[in-house]
Structure 1
């Protein structure tokens, strides 16, 4: 039925296929990708599909949802795509899907529910998943912590802060780290985090950089070699400072909080992945209540001076020195950084960062606020404004081959939704993919879904799954939708 609806919508919308362009469709130069080693974090360059009119690539629904999970709503972190398949993590299962048929290619049962994932994938299609350990509950309140031996590779390792209150005793700990091949579903290795008595979701964070998987849980951190799962280093929190989390990709940034929670002091460090040795340290100004790591290279921070909403973006150079500040007036831009159920550090997926510019979407406050603004990373000044269509906001997704790929949802359920390609130099817009999305799925809100573009395909995956309570889809939860060029 979904495939039929897609076809109908695309046929109806065929008369407006080029309505999203600015003049004739430009003929883009063929993008080139730098050859990467298997352990590099994937940095693909998207080529325009042969046709912007999309076909269905993946349609994944969880039937008999409540019977399987035993509750109405389930958190569902984890969605990835490779050249070969789409992978979805739900509960204690990873599933891979072939393109075009929506048939399950493979299914891998995990040792516990998924509690955190990373969006980063290696050049050869591997990624890390943090799992809850069944039966591994926190210690009772008041129980003294065991003393920890000092690691030879971490001179700054300190004892835990005993004054911290215990977490909800009914929650399970996120103490298992597994490394998977997304193309086959094969688990390559799995380890238990050392001394992770307080590694609770969503305060546990996993990320990757070249050859290294790093995990932090506010009371400690550890890193492992990708190839064999061998521990590289570990660090424990002290009464003064602790690692809140890491941002991966080309580099590895650590967010460190010092002081108490009422008057925190933050610093960001670029660390050597294999040793945790800091290469530089940037001290965030006092008065900041929260820090998010938007990008590791170029280094971009999002900070909040009041509450959880981002008030400023800060850019740093390759030595960790301050470059510029970009003001984020309240209610003006979409940052989508605060996700209390899905991590607290590397979470700003509504801000796209390129080598020289970053891109922000205006808020949906009024129909006139439908645009994306680009900012120079060196000066913090506005470079260009990309206007959307009336009543149709646009959201930046990723920078690829020097162009920005952005999502524009449908405003009426009839005209197609679109991913468009924007040229930062000229402001010109060209269609990338045009497709229909049934309203009942509720996947058009980027603040509630992961949106992935990879190898000419676009995927939508809700961060929470809930079963339909009536109608022909009663009892079914819509888990993922993917489209590809015809």
Structure 2
């Protein structure tokens, strides 16, 4: 682990636009002062994480058998067998392995009130305005094409899955159970009310703390991964190419550097109570743009110091498992390898707790936080069935399981306590989760919530277990943003966050308005309060607000500078899908991919930090 260099140059008092200082000798990963022209210089198109296909081969749902969608197939216990493929036997007195007792019909009750807004109308983009969130600008179509090209490049090149990191920060040596890009995997409080820990700064107008320059990439076909970021009271840690760097969260000074054997593939959304995070990396350094190594290595490290605790891989049949996601629950690090199964390690020692065994059932992936939830697949190709299971954090024993109907080949965990997960109800959806299921503590279905396709603004990654953005759970409610629609003013757009009861499935009547030309989406829960991000029009800064869980009153916690350069840099991160972290008056946005700029005068960043005190 290298020694910390002296603090790098920070943005000058005059803000963005001051002459650029010489980049620190540490190369990529060291913050730098703004480039010539400030953040207003042309930006690299946003690096939206490519939507790679899941590892499960494409399937054609079989003809309906028995009750239609929304009800479970008859649950016939399997033949007697030994321990469940790497897991201890189900505790005595419970039904057979993975099979809970009688449940209400799948999807019951479905008392959706039909709340939803029509699709937003197309509004002419304003020339020269930075794009992203609720802003209007000419570059959106170009960026969408760029994202699609990036996704194709990864698929053709044998690309890997990438996971964003936590949406919530944590204190050093304290636990964090935030979620990816806005989830709250650990869930929220069960009752309504306030009690949040985030306080209103004396001055909510934020200054730029630092910005991390993107690595120098010469090959136009090269797309490198910098997936993973973590935030504590004192450290902001961000993955670079073949390393993780820890920065002082207030100044950007480099505190430590952790070298890695290869590029990062996924980061744990959580930091453990002992201050440890986990990351999945490729097994070696890439020789060229197309030399993608397998994402086989799992590493645990201390966020405060950068100390590596261990690195492990799993080779059940001579070929290492390729992990797509990693999550922490208690003292367990659980990594999912999709169709090939999952494995778990002791957080402190790296001891293998379980791994795939020969058989017809495998764990597709896990979601951690306060509880550990697995998505398990059984059966041969073309005849698979899936089940959502609550596991014992230490042993992997199944506490309860909820079987999904045949033909459903995905499940996205939104919260682990309470357990809330979503499914795709069709072949192609705009959000990745149109049906959301709320479970009680015994594994019985409480209710099903239907999120009409195209009416809501959340997003769940394809082939991922814990990669939903812009949707969260708290106060026994599901919070989800609507798509943008016409505002009250002429040629304005807006949206709102609404909530559904996890007990009844009905909308609660809560409506958190963004305001004309703003777009709002949930970040995470803060006690009984909801933290939300608001992107504004071309001449207003982005905001972080705290929404009282009872009164719905919005309190501004932070607002970024409204200069063109800052807004352009923020929008290039695509906030809803970026690594978005907020705690204690500080907001950090990070990318998980880096590529070559389109021209030599373009400046690209992998992370931005803002602070209000």
TM-score, with length taken from structure 2: 0.63
Alpha carbons of structure 1 residues 66 and 210: separation in structure 2 relative to 1, 3 Å: same
Q: Does 1:107 align with 2:257?
A: yes
Out of 227-236 and 256-265, give the one that drifted further.
256-265
Q: Which of the residues 347, 351, 361 maps onto 1:226?
A: 347
Q: Which runs of 5+ in 2 are unaligned?
A: 1-9, 19-37, 39-169, 179-195, 488-492
Alpha carbons 2:478, 2:502 under 8 Å: kept: yes
Task: Determine if contact 1:58/1:483 at 8 Å carries over to the other structure.
Answer: yes
Distance 2:368 2:246 in 1: 24
Instruction: Please state if 1:281 is matched with 2:391.
Output: no
Contiguous gaps of at least 5 residues in structure 1? 10-34, 137-168
Is the 8 Å Cα contact of residues 219 and 237 (structure 1) preserved in structure 2? no
Q: Distance in 2 between matches of 1:54 and 1:175?
A: 40
- 1:90 lines up with 2:90 in the alignment: no
> SS state of the match for residue 217, structure 2?
helix
1:97-116 CA-to-partner distances (Å, cap 9, x unmatched) read 12343332222110122112
**Which residue of 20, 45, 54 maps to 2:206?**
54
Instruction: Please identify, of 351-360 and 266-275, the stretch whose mean Cα deviation from structure 2 is larger.
Output: 351-360
Q: Which residue of 1 aligns with 2:433?
A: 310
User: Which of 475, 478, 483 does residue 605 from structure 2 map onto?
Assistant: 478
8 Å Cα contact 1:112/1:132 also seen in 2? yes
Give the Cα–Cα distance (whole angstroms) in 1 for the partners of residues 350 and 383 of structure 2: 37
Deviations 1:145-188 (A, max 9, x none): xxxxxxxxxxxxxxxxxxxxxxxx96422221111111111111
Q: Which has the higher contact order (CA 8 A, sep 6+)?
A: 2
Which one of the candidate residues 518, 533, 538 is aligned to 1:407? 533
Structure 2 CA distance for aligned equivalents of residues 135 and 449 of structure 1: 25
Question: What is the deviation of 1:355?
Answer: 4.3
Q: Shift in Å at residue 117 of structure 1?
A: 1.2
TM-score by length of 1: 0.79
Distance 1:327 1:195 in 2: 40
Tell me, yes or no, if structure 1 residue 252 matches structure 2 residue 372.
yes
Q: Would you say the 8 A contact 2:333–2:345 is kept in 1?
A: yes
CA distance in 1, matches of 2:549, 2:381: 40
Residue 231 of structure 1 and its aligned partner are, at CA, apart by: 1.9
Residues 391-449 of structure 1, C-alpha deviation per residue, up to 9 Å, x if partnerless? Answer: 2210100000210111111211x211101111121121110111123314534523431
Indicate yes or no: 2:509 matched with 1:357: no
Q: How many residue pairs get matched? A: 419
Q: Residue deviations 1:283-316, cap 9 Å, x none?
A: 1233424211111111011101213532111110
Q: Distance in 1 between matches of 2:374 and 2:546?
A: 32
Deviation, 1:471, is 6.4
1:16 paired residue number = none
Superposed, which structure 2 residues align to 1:98-247 within 5 Å? 98-134=248-284, 171-195=292-316, 197=319, 199-200=321-322, 204-217=324-337, 218-236=339-357, 238=359, 240-247=360-367
Provide the secondary structure at the position in 1 that maps to 2:294. Answer: coil
- Say which of 441, 451, 455 aligns to 1:332: 455
* CA distance in structure 1 between the partners assigned to 2:16 and 2:206 by the alignment: 8
Residue aligning to 2:499:
374
Map Cα deviations across residues 376-397 of structure 1 (whole Å, 9 max, x no partner). 1111121211111112210100
Contact 1:252 1:273 in 2 (8 A): yes
- Cα drift, residue 345 of structure 1: 0.8
Aligned counterparts of 2:283 and 2:558: Cα–Cα separation in 1: 41
Q: Distance in 2 between matches of 1:405 and 1:235?
A: 38
User: Aligned residue for 2:591?
Assistant: 462
Corresponding residue for residue 66 of structure 1: 217
**Aligned equivalent of 1:451:** 580
Cα RMSD (Å): 3.0
Deviation per CA, 1:216-247: give whole Å up to 9, x if none. 21323221111221222223363x32211001
Q: What is the rounded CA distance, in whole Å, between the counterparts of 2:530 and 2:451 in structure 1? A: 20
